[in-house]
Amino acid sequence: MTRHTKDAAPKQTGIAHLWSAAGYSAGGLTRLTKEAAFRQEVMAGTGLLVAYAVMDVTAAVRLSAIILFLLLIAMEAVNTAIEEIIDRISPEVSATGKHAKDLGSLAVFCLILANSMLLLYALTVHLKI
């Protein structure tokens, strides 16, 4: 049987493992900065965090906003990974590839909706509607 992959490097443990993982995460963030959607989400998220700082809302709302924003960024990373894999293994248009990309997009959209719903809630509390 023919092997198509290189042997993996030995796994690191302890602090060395954490350091390696941080490097992989930095590489992922660097890759993600090339995505227009990520840059737009960061700009919108920054604006939202400033808005929450100005609004008279609880610390729980502010913490929820930060958590939802981080989840959105994480899901954008997963969506980008899905797109990269599909484009690599199936460069031709296929129903399966389209479904995978559409599902990744839906996951991101759901988190955008969740962020928007929290903003609407915060606005109703702040404006006492």
Structure tokens at 93: 């248009």
Residue 121 · residue 48 · CB < 8 Å: no
Neighbouring residues of 112: CB distance < 8 A, sequence distance ≥ 6: 41, 72
Asked about 76 being catalytic, the answer comes back as yes
Alpha helices in 33-94 (DSSP H): 36-54, 59-89
Q: Which residue of the set 35, 41, 76, 92 is catalytic?
A: 76
At residue 125's C-alpha, the angle toward residues 123 and 129, to 5°, is 85
- Our CA dihedral for 29, 33, 38, 40, rounded to 10 degrees, sits at 140
Residues assigned a catalytic role: 76
